[in-house]
Amino acid sequence: MTAWGAPPPVVIDLGKSDTRKVLIGGSVAGILGILALVGAVTAFMDGEPVGGSIAAVIGIVFTGIGVMAVVKWKTISRPRKLIIEQQGIRLDDPQGMPWAVAWQELGAISISRTQERAVQLADALVRRTLVRVDLHPRDPQQFRPGHPTMEPLWEFHRVQNGYRLPLGDSAGFIAPLDHGLRTFAPQIYRGVIDEGFSVGLH
């Protein structure tokens, strides 16, 4: 509780989370790419052109992923925060497309999660949980013109008459999101909805 008696806002640091994921993913991809390229050179020197060619292709792909992580670093690591507070919910994105929604504008809000289907062995070992926040306006026809920066989220990935904010592989966000919505929007909060399995990040 604050000095005024109202609960403090719940702040989800999206920029910090995305930066950590890109740093880890880019580093792993870069290391694997370099190792594959070294293996390709060794294979060519040992007179194995087929194995060398395959290793070279793999090395180039993974090294490219690592390079892309470096190139996109500034864009991905920009400060972004999802804030749930007494007035409503808002995306604080100074260098992107911020938005703010008052609770009275919404008819319902929920958290949806999907486990990524295991396609490879690595997927089964590290199962990713895809998290989204779904917002359903009380009056979509009146709401949409007043929130143009949210338009890319409208009916995104199977949502009907609503907006979906994808948070990626972020199972750790579910608890603070659930707490914030139960605290500030209990009358419209529909809880955590499991949507089964999916292939790919949404």
* Comparison of pLDDT for 54 and 91, the residue scoring more: 91
CA distance 20 to 26: 10
In whole angstroms, how far apart are CA 142 and each of 25, 101, 108, 152, 162?
Answer: 41, 13, 16, 17, 13
The pTM (predicted TM-score) of the whole model is 0.65
In contact, 77 and 18? CB cutoff 8 Å: yes
How far is it, in rounded angstroms, from Cα 23 to Cα 66? Answer: 9
- Identify any residues that bridge with 81 across adjacent strands, giving them in sequence order: 13, 92
- What does the pLDDT read at residue 149? 94
Number of neighbours of residue 146 by Cβ within 10 angstroms: 10
153-174 pLDDT, tens digit per residue, is: 999 878 899 999 999 888 889 9
pLDDT per position as a tens digit, 72-83: 545 555 578 999
CATH 2.30.29: does it fit domain 80-198? yes
For 174, other C-beta atoms within 10 Å of its C-beta total 15
Segment among 66-75, 101-110, 149-158, 173-182 with least mean pLDDT: 66-75
pLDDT band at 125 (very low <50, low <70, confident <90, very high): very low
Q: What is the DSSP-derived secondary structure letter of residue 170?
A: -
Per-residue pLDDT, averaged over 191-198, amounts to 77
